């Protein structure tokens, strides 16, 4: 049995006790939280294993698709390596229905260089988020809460009730926004057995969320333009 967490936002120490009591593995989704810190511990090291995405748009991105699993559990590590190698531990012998998802050597080389800069890149993102949080002030805009944690701001997601109107307004002002993500997991066809269930908080948030531009290379003038446009909405 697996408890699935999303980066630092959902972590709760009580889960560790439950996991130990019922022999449950805690798998951490750290795809958008690399470099973040929760209670003086880096995310990606909170559970039994964690998944990392190195898609080019991530805080630590390769030049193509890439990802990794981190764990200090030798058994999990062996299984993951096998799954990524056609389910094989030994050539031509297959214990699992695996995949071909080995990390390309060139992507690994790029990441090996870029990882030295991840903390500085995250620091720049935090500065952008701080400026947004400090200067955006609008009664119809709900800003994200940092709660004093070391957030890495892969996305800067706000909420507004009339999202389509808000997005069109910003687009007319030369500012593109995105929705992360437009369909909640329990409404996906892939999870059809969950489609009949209602999760009112999830569904409310899903209708209101919109991501403002954020990156480590966005300029101060661009940030100021976005803040001004949002406040004039």
Query: In Å, how far are 159, 170, 179 from 164, measured between CA atoms?
Result: 12, 10, 10
Would you say 34 and 7 are in contact if contact means Cβ atoms under 8 Å apart? no
Residue 19 lies in a domain: yes
CATH number at residue 96: 3.40.640.10
Residues 42 and 86 in one domain: yes
The total number of residues written for the chain in this structure: 233
Residue 195 lies in a domain: yes
Confidence at residue 40, expressed as pLDDT on a 0 to 100 scale: 85
Dihedral (CA of 121, 47, 211, 183) sign: positive
Residues 225 and 197 in one domain: yes
Residues 93 and 129 in one domain: no
Confidence at residue 9, expressed as pLDDT on a 0 to 100 scale: 45
153-177 pLDDT, tens digit per residue, is: 999 999 999 999 999 999 999 999 9
Residue 111 lies in a domain: no
Residues 88 and 168 in one domain: no
CATH number at residue 191: 3.90.1150.10
Confidence at residue 222, expressed as pLDDT on a 0 to 100 scale: 98
Residue 124 lies in a domain: yes
Q: Which domain holds residue 25?
A: 2-53+67-102
Confidence at residue 12, expressed as pLDDT on a 0 to 100 scale: 63
Q: What is the mean pLDDT of each run of 10 residues along the chain (233 residues)?
A: 47 78 93 91 92 96 95 96 94 93 93 97 97 97 86 97 97 98 94 95 96 97 98 98
Confidence at residue 109, expressed as pLDDT on a 0 to 100 scale: 97
Give pTM, 2 decimals: 0.87
Confidence at residue 147, expressed as pLDDT on a 0 to 100 scale: 73
Residues 224 and 132 in one domain: yes
Confidence at residue 7, expressed as pLDDT on a 0 to 100 scale: 46
Residue 225 lies in a domain: yes
Residue 58 lies in a domain: no
Confidence at residue 11, expressed as pLDDT on a 0 to 100 scale: 52
Confidence at residue 208, expressed as pLDDT on a 0 to 100 scale: 98
Query: In Å, how far are 13, 39, 49, 77 from 72, measured between CA atoms?
Result: 19, 19, 7, 8
Confidence at residue 8, expressed as pLDDT on a 0 to 100 scale: 43
Per the structure, the count of domains in the chain is 2
The single-letter DSSP state of residue 150 is: B
């Amino acid at each position: 049995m697996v408890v699935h967490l999303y980066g630092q936002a959902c972590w709760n120490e009580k889960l560790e006790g439950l996991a130990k009591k019922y022999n449950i593995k805690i798998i951490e989704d750290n795809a958008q939280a690399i470099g973040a810190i929760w209670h003086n511990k880096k995310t990606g090291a909170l559970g039994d294993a964690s998944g990392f995405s190195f898609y080019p748009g991530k805080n630590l991105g390769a030049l193509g698709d890439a990802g990794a699993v981190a764990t200090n559990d030798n058994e999990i590590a062996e299984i993951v390596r096998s799954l990524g190698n056609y389910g094989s531990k030994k050539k031509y012998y297959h214990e699992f229905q695996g995949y071909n998802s080995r990390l390309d050597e060139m992507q690994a080389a790029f990441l090996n260089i870029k990882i030295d800069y991840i903390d500085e890149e995250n620091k720049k993102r935090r500065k952008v988020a701080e400026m947004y949080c400090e200067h955006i002030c609008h009664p119809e805009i709900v800003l994200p809460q940092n709660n004093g944690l070391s957030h890495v701001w892969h996305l800067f997601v706000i909420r507004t009730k009339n999202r389509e109107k808000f997005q069109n307004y910003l687009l007319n002002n030369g500012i593109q926004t995105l929705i992360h993500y437009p369909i909640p997991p329990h409404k996906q066809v892939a999870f059809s057995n969950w489609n009949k269930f209602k999760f009112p908080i999830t569904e409310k948030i899903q209708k209101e969320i919109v991501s403002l531009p954020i990156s480590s290379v966005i300029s101060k003038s661009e940030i100021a333009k976005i803040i001004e446009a949002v406040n004039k909405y």
